[in-house]
Amino acid sequence: YEIRPRDWSSDVCSSDLLYDLEQARIALRGDLGLAVDRGRIVREAVAIVIADLENKGDQSIIARRLRGK
């Protein structure tokens, strides 16, 4: 399955998520001095979640959140 940008933006990026992402970008820049774009934040976040899933499996943060625990 291939995710096309138009699928991703409509299915994944609600206005609330975009707002939260922008707030994170502002906090990283203001509080930590890290000037990064939203794309990099998303790529890093996805990499962290995938690594956690690979390391912890059913105890990973994503598995627990998706189960509602």
Euclidean distance between CA atoms 68 and 5, whole angstroms: 28
Please state the φ and ψ torsions of residue 36, each to the nearest 5 degrees. Answer: -125, 155
Alpha-helical regions (H) of the chain: 5-11, 15-32, 38-56, 61-67
CA 19, 45, 43, 5 dihedral sign is: negative
At 48-62, the pLDDT tens digits run 999 999 999 999 999
pTM of the model: 0.72
Task: Tell me the average pLDDT across 26-50.
Answer: 94
Expressed in angstroms, the distance from the first to the final Cα of the chain is 28
